[in-house]
Structure 1
Amino acid sequence: MTSASLSEFRANQSLYIASAQREPVEILSRGAVRRAVLISPELFDRAMEALEDSLDLRDARNAEVGDLVSHEELLEELRD
């Protein structure tokens, strides 16, 4: 992962944005405190999809039998 101080990032934004298309760029302040991580839109989209899938799996595991909907009920609901 590439790292840059906040002042370096401000001075060379386009360089670090281009770099973030290949790998995450860590933005630091006060020499070592991580303030942000710049990533490509594609990596962000993949991460969000993975997070949503993980949450869906968690919800499915935690669902009670009464919360489940049959295939037929789902089809009927989609038709309405």
Structure 2
Amino acid sequence: MESITEVELKAKMAHYLDRVATQPVAILDTKGEPRAVLVTLEFFARALESLEDIADVEAARKSRLEPGEVTHEEVKALIERGELKFGEKLE
């Protein structure tokens, strides 16, 4: 990833907008600290979609278990340890 200062970006905006077609461009503040990244709209859309997918998977995972419910793996472990017999209900 290329890095440029805010001053360079202002001076050569068209150049760097063309440049992001091949690689992201990091924008540094006057202290040389990263402040932003220029990417193509397509890259941004894919990244945003990926983040939304991850959030959806996490929400689905959390919603699968209501308070007091146990996972299949937990039931299997209880049976293997002899703490629960096959077909017996959990209390």
Provide TM-score, normalisation by structure 2.
0.67
Aligned structure 1 segments of 4 or more residues deviating by more than 2 angstroms: none
Residue ranges of structure 1 left out of the alignment (5+ in a row)? 67-80
Corresponding residue number in structure 2 for 1:12 = 12
Over alpha carbons, which structure has the higher Rg? 2
Which structure carries more helix by proportion? 1
CA offsets 1:32-73 (integer angstroms, 9 cap, x no match): 21111000001001001100100000000000457xxxxxxx
Number of residue pairs matched by the alignment:
66
Corresponding residue number in structure 1 for 2:53 = 53
CA contact (8 A) 1:27 1:37 kept: yes
Over the matched positions of the two proteins, sequence identity in percent amounts to: 36
Give the letter for the 2:12 counterpart.
N
Provide TM-score, normalisation by structure 1.
0.76
Q: CA deviation at 1:21?
A: 1.5
